[in-house]
Amino acid sequence: MGLRVSVDPDECVGHGRCYEIAPDVFRADDHGHSVVISAHVADALADVARQAAAACPEEAIAISER
């Protein structure tokens, strides 16, 4: 099943919580803002991706089932 994940670059301010919680899903760009490693997240990473999205204070991470 898996998830589709995206980060809104206009909302992300670079707290880094997402890529600390889910380093296999998100990474930092040169400015510390979050970049999705792969828009399609495998089942094994779905829970941690959801945790990262919930931890984002800016609500910059969108997740949908695919």
Report the site for ligand SF4 in 39-58 (rule: CB under 6 A). 56, 58
Residue 17 CB, shortest distance to ligand SF4, in Å, is 4
Name which position in 3, 12, 22, 41 contacts ligand SF4 (CB under 6 A).
12
Strands 26-28 and 61-65: unpaired
Q: Identify whether the C-beta of residue 18 lies closer than 8 Å to the C-beta of residue 29.
A: no
With contact defined as beta carbons under 8 Å apart, do 25 and 49 qualify?
A: yes
Q: Which residues make up the interface to ligand SF4 (CB under 6 A)?
A: 7, 12-18, 33-34, 56, 58, 60-61
